[in-house]
Structures are given as structure tokens and as C-alpha cells.
Amino acid sequence: MRKQYSFENSKKLWLEAQDIIPGGSQATRAPLYPEFPTYFKKAKGCRMWDVDGNEFIDLLCSIGPIILGYAYDRVDNAVREIMKDSFQSSMNHPIQLELARLLIEVIPCAEQVRFLKTGTEATQAAARLARHITKRTYIARCGYHGWADMWWYGKTEGIPKAAWETIPRFNGAAEDLENLFKKTNEPFAAVILCPADTRPFTKENYQAIVDIAHRHGALVIFDEVKTGFRTSLGGAQELLGVTPDITTVSKGMGNGYPISAVVGKEEYMRRMPETPTAGTFSVEAISIAAAIETIREIKEKNVVGHLWNSGQRLIDGLNKICRDYNMDEPRAYADPVPSMPRFTWKSGEDNPQHPVHQYFFGECVKYGLFFSQWHVAFVNYSHKNEDIDEALDICDFVMAKTKKYAANISGNANYKKAVVHKSNPVKAAT
């Protein structure tokens, strides 16, 4: 019989943090509740250990960045080496050129490169560049691009409407972009899309988006912060064979070290110094050293092939479990590629708060599998078949419990409504 973990130490720290850290957590994404581990202090490969000594197989990989594995020797050794010399100054470090050359070699649209630290910085810099070059303001968007004022949508405290009202969304299909251009009747500076969110995920659709944008005089930005290095070494653009003008990358680039980049065609990138991208830490070379070794390792070891195989093994295993338990609604699928598997229930597809979702994923965490209904899963190069099979064993065990849980609540009026966790998690803890 499996034993459910307890999170007493995590919970204690989390409650103490309420007084000194807004919301009690620097991690701004779920799961953020006292009955889950909130403090991890060690990680290696595809496993993590929390402050209660619980061991987890990780299927979130820091929401994407951990592409090779935690504490990956080749990457961390390069970091240790650069720390002995110099990694931060008011000028450049020579290894910048190495990383720039690598990115130019692997990303189809890359002819020049600007380094930054986060995905949000990169998308903001790319958008600003497009606005500067075209002397236009409107940007059509599809997907998540970070937390800057311009990318938030709808009325939000602290964000002026002026920041986002010129950034309308399209649904991912080329025809919808065409309609948006017509309907808005404004000149557009750019179209930005996240390939993880833009459907259909086909060469035809993406090429049509590029063609429509260009016909309207707009630049095309692929925001490959999430899909870069994971869908293919050169990102979704390489996989689909469609080349944008500008691309943003981050997450998988440095195996967890904070780095991002705007890359693109020379005719656009050379205009970058005309508009500010001033960052004290853009020269910081710890992350640059990490990124060089991360990208070399991905290239030399067929890491992408491994990620696809591991992801597919997880997808197949989850679907088999659903069949074994006669759960007809849940399904696992590549979103958009097997290295980014998603597991969901039809009835709650747009609602990760559905109680059966909450129950399944919550129980997984309580039995040693770090998995969340709020995100696609991410696998890394250190997930071996045995790890995926062990993860599936936990899912199998939890699915048996979930099935009973679902049967118990299916007659309940809240079944479709779905709010297990209320908005004040501190109260829930006490």
C-alpha cells in the first residue's frame, strides 16, 4: 500500500512566509495550497526532494526550463568554471559570441542575437522592435507571452488599458487573423504567436499566418519561449518549416539558468540598438555558459528524440490507464508535440478547477508525482523509461481512487461547477 506524504515542514514555512512574502510564495503558479509541498530543497535528474524529505518524480520541470535534468553535470561544471573567472562586468564576456553563433546555427530565422534574462523581457523587446521598425502600434497576438503590461488582457488592477488595448487576440487560425485585420482596420506592427497555443499546428496554417501578416506590412514574431529546443532543436519553426522574422526563446535554453534571447533576421535585428533593451544583467555569463553547454548537449545527444519518446510513453500509459478503468472522458495527448504531454478530462477541458481534475492531480502530488492540471507536462532528458513507468504506476494507483471519488460526487450539483479550493488558501490551512 502506498503511503500518502505529509507536508508539515513545507506548510510551516509557507505559513511563516505569509507575513514577509506577498501571498506566501515567490512561485506565482499553482499548485499553491498548504496541502501541497511548497518548498523543495534538492533536485537531481528528474527527481526532487522537499523539506519534509518526500521524493517526487517531476513532470513540470520548473514549468519548462529543465530540459536535460536537474543538477546536470555538463551544464553545472561550465557554470563552476566561469565563476572562477568573471561572469558579470560592465562590459561583454567573450563567450557571448559562442552562444550567439550556436543560436544562429540552430534557429532557422536567427541571423543576429540579443540576450536578456526572462521570457517576458524578450517578448516585450521583440514587440518594441517591431513597433519601432514599422512605426505602427497594433500587435495581433495568440497565446501567453508573459506578464508585462502590454501582454495582460482585460481589466486588471495596476495595468492601464492603454498598454493592452492595441494588442488584440486572434484564435490561432490564419482566417481569424485575416478577419481581425479587417475588423480592426488599423495598421499592425506585428503578429506574435506562441506555437504551444496556436492551432492548427500545421505548416499550412503557420505559413498562411506569415503570408497574411506580411501582406499587411506586419512583422511575424514566433514566441518560442516554451517551444524552443523542445519541439525541435530549432523550435516549432524548424519542425513546421515556417520561418518568422523574429523569435523569442528562453526556458529550455539554459537548463534552468535564467536567460532569454531575441533572435531574428539581420535586417530587423540590426535596428535593435535604436530602441532600449538596457539590462544590467544581459551580459551575465553564468547563464550564457549554461546555455552553451545545454544547447551542445541537446544537439549531440538527440535530446529532442528522447523527450518525444518519453512523452509518448507517458501519453500512451495514461490513455491505457483510462481504458483500464473505463474512464471514457479523460485523455492524454501531445500538446502540440509529445515532449509536452497534456492530460485532461473532456468535461473540464477549459476548467482545470474541475473537482475530478483537482482530485487526480492533487493525489498524484501526495503520492510522489509532481504533475499539475494547470500546465502541459514537461519531460526532461533524465526521465528514463523506468521513471516514466514509475510515474504511471502512481497514476494507476491514483486513478483507482479518482474513479471512486468521481462516482461519489457525480450526483453532486458541484460536479460541473468545480471549486474545491476557495480563494483564500491561508484560511484553508488553519
The residues that touch ligand PLP, with contacts defined as CB under 6 A, are 118-120, 123, 143-146, 194, 223, 225-226, 250
By beta carbon distance, the residue nearest ligand PLP is 119
Tell me how far apart the alpha carbons of residues 316 and 260 are, in angstroms, rounded to a whole number: 33
What is the smallest separation between the CB atom of 215 and ligand PLP, expressed in angstroms?
Answer: 25
Residue 235 CB, shortest distance to ligand PLP, in Å, is: 11
Residue with smaller CB distance to ligand PLP, 144 or 397: 144
d(CA 278, CA 288): 17
Taking phi first (over 0 means left), then psi (-120 to 50 degrees means alpha), and beta for anything else, what does residue 207 get? alpha
CB atoms inside a 10 Å sphere around CB 273: 9
For the bound state, the minimum distance from the C-beta of residue 117 to ligand PLP, rounded and expressed in Å, comes to 8
Rg, Å, the chain Cα set: 22
* Cβ nearer to ligand PLP, comparing 190 with 194: 194
CA dihedral 258→119→131→274, nearest 10 degrees, is: 0
- Helix or strand or coil: residue 360? helix
Question: Nearer to ligand PLP by C-beta: 67 or 194?
Answer: 194
Which residue number, 196 or 314, has a Cβ lying nearer to ligand PLP?
196
CB of 358 to ligand PLP, least distance (A): 22
Q: How far is the CB of 256 from ligand PLP (least distance, A)?
A: 12
Strands 55-58, 112-116: pairing kind: unpaired
Strands 246-249 and 260-264: antiparallel
Distance, in Å, from the CA atom of 202 to the CA atom of 365, rounded to the nearest integer, reads 34
In terms of CB distance, is 143 or 330 closer to ligand PLP? 143
**Smallest separation (angstroms) from ligand PLP to the CB of 156:** 16
Round to whole Å and give the CA distance between 240 and 232.
10
Give the residue among 244, 259, 334 at the shortest CA–CA distance from 294: 259
Q: Rounded to the nearest whole angstrom, what is the least distance from the CB of residue 407 to ligand PLP in the complex? A: 36
Q: Where would I find the H helices in 264-346?
A: 266-269, 285-300, 303-324
Closer residue to ligand PLP (CB): 187 or 279 = 279
* CB of 291 or CB of 394, closer to ligand PLP: 291
* For residue 258, cis peptide bond before it (omega within 30 degrees of 0): no
Give the DSSP H/E element, type plus range, for residue 334: strand 330-334
Give the closest residue to 245 by CA, choosing from 136, 127, 332, 164. 127
Least distance in Å: CB of 376 to ligand PLP? Answer: 10
Backbone angles phi, psi at 88, to 5 degrees: -145, 125
What is the residue type of 45? G
CB of 148 to ligand PLP, least distance (A): 8
- Cβ proximity to ligand PLP: between 120 and 339 the closer is 120
How many CA atoms, within 13 angstroms, populate the side-chain half-sphere of residue 43? 24
For ligand PLP, the closer of residues 152 and 397 by Cβ is: 152
